[in-house]
Amino acid sequence: MRPLPNRTRIASMILLIILFLLITPILIAYSLGYRILDINDVFILEKTGGIYVHSNVSDTTVYLDGKFNKTNGNFFRNTLIQNLKPEIDHVVEVKREGYQTWSKTLPVYSSLVTESRVLMIPKEVPQREIFPFVDVSGEGTTTPSAKAKIFKGKPVPTDEEYKNLMTLFEGKDIYATSTQTKIIKSLNTTSASSTSTSTKELPENFVKLGIKDPQILKNLIQNAQEISWLDNGNIILNWVGNESEIPYYYCLAAGNCHEKITLDWNDEIKKFDFLPGRNDVFLVLVSTGLYAVEVDDRSERNIQTVYTKNIDDFLIGPNNKIFVRDGDRFFELTI
């Protein structure tokens, strides 16, 4: 048996070179977004765009302009929708049973991908009450035991977590003991995203925003590259990082970004924080309850209910847990 004949080798190579020359331009055009679209029975070559939807929720179903697009599983949760005609707004809906539906109208631009991230809060947010007392069986209860200590005419809670939460919400150690103080200090230092601005030197980012005295700003929160506060019951959010790293929700389109976002609510916002793990979602406390609100204002913001009672306060506690205070009762919410 002779070695592979040269003629066969050359023929094979020529065939592969032809394939390369034919298919590479097609691959490149495809990768750039070029598609042949059927528009009114006319096939035209169009430079399309796409939408990319990030999701931290599994097993979702995605709809585009009211039509089923795809189902995501547990592992692959994000969705890339391609081949979209540019310069047209598209409505993306993401649904899952037991969760509030996320819907967004997003613009699509030629050869660009419009990015977005779903906000899907469970319809029934699981909650756990933290009771002030512990009964003989070790269960939490609202009823103090006969032996309970009395402080300023009220029984002193015996549950440590409850006492810590009271102190966290009050901002001071009302049943002061040395050990509690340590715990509270520890809890405060691990608080997720809120930082106190009691420093005397004015950080550069505040100077950049023209803020002379951060102390007067209500509900001031400084993340790595974002600063936000409450102003007349509205949230003001500013990007103070590099322009090249600005997140998508500041941008209406590539190159069309603004560094300030205002969340203007009908009611007065009493307090806000960021939803743990998300820089693009506010937790907003208003008179009707606690809501999760998208920062992204490219179309109507998704507002999803977290807790619908007229609660007094909420906070992000240690380990990014959400606690709400409803009178003398405390609840931990799991989102």
Partner 1 sequence: MDYIKSPYFHISHARDLKGWDRFIFRIFEMIPGLLTWGTFALIILLSVFKPMWAALFIIAFDFYWLLKTVHLSFHHYYNWRRMKHNIKTDWQKMIENLKYEHLYHLVILPFYKEDEFVIEQTIKSLVSAKYKTSKMLIVLAAEERAGEDAVRVSHRLTEKYKHHFGDMITTVHPAGLPNEIVGKGPNITYSAEQARLEILDKKKIPYEDVIVSAFDIDTVIWSGYFACLTWHFLTVPNPYKVSFQPVPLYNNNIWEAPALSRVAAMTSTFWQMIQQERVEKLVTFSSHSLSFKSLYEVGYWQKNMISDDSRIFWNLYLANDGDYGVVPLSYPVSMDANLAPSLFKTFKNIYKQHLRWMWGVENIPYIMFNFMKNKKIPLKKKIQQTATQLEGFWSLATNPIMILVLGWLPIIWGGSAFRDTVLSYNLPNITRDLMTITTTGLILSAVIAASMLPPMPKEYKQRKRRWTIMILQWIFVPFTIIIFGSLPGIDAQTRLMFGKYIGAFWNTPKYRKNN
In the complex, least distance from residue 27 CB atom to partner 1, rounded to whole angstroms: 6
In the complex, least distance from residue 111 CB atom to partner 1, rounded to whole angstroms: 5
In the complex, least distance from residue 83 CB atom to partner 1, rounded to whole angstroms: 10
Bridge partners, residue 52, by sequence: 80, 115
Please, which residues have CB within 8 angstroms of residue 141's CB and are 6 or more apart in sequence? 131, 133, 134, 135
In the complex, least distance from residue 47 CB atom to partner 1, rounded to whole angstroms: 8
In this structure, what token pair is assigned to residue 28?
Answer: 């490149």
Q: Are strands 127-130 and 329-333 parallel, antiparallel or unpaired?
A: antiparallel
Q: Choose between 173 and 280: whose C-beta lies nearer to partner 1.
A: 280
Long-range contacts of 98-105 (CB under 8 A, 24+ apart): 98/122, 98/123, 98/124, 99/57, 99/123, 100/304, 100/305, 102/302, 102/304, 103/302, 104/296, 104/298, 104/299, 104/302, 105/298, 105/299, 105/300
- Residues within the interface to partner 1 (CB under 8 A): 1, 3-4, 9, 12-13, 16, 19-20, 23-24, 27-28, 30-33, 48-50, 52, 80, 82, 111-113, 115, 244-246, 248, 254-255
In the complex, least distance from residue 59 CB atom to partner 1, rounded to whole angstroms: 22
Q: Choose between 13 and 88: whose C-beta lies nearer to partner 1.
A: 13
In the complex, least distance from residue 106 CB atom to partner 1, rounded to whole angstroms: 13
In Å, the largest CA–CA distance within the chain is 105
User: 3-state class of 9 per DSSP?
Assistant: helix
Q: Choose between 163 and 298: whose C-beta lies nearer to partner 1.
A: 298
Q: Choose between 5 and 171: whose C-beta lies nearer to partner 1.
A: 5
Q: Choose between 1 and 136: whose C-beta lies nearer to partner 1.
A: 1
Long-range contacts of 253-256 (CB under 8 A, 24+ apart): 253/107, 253/109, 253/112, 254/109, 254/112
Q: Choose between 174 and 254: whose C-beta lies nearer to partner 1.
A: 254
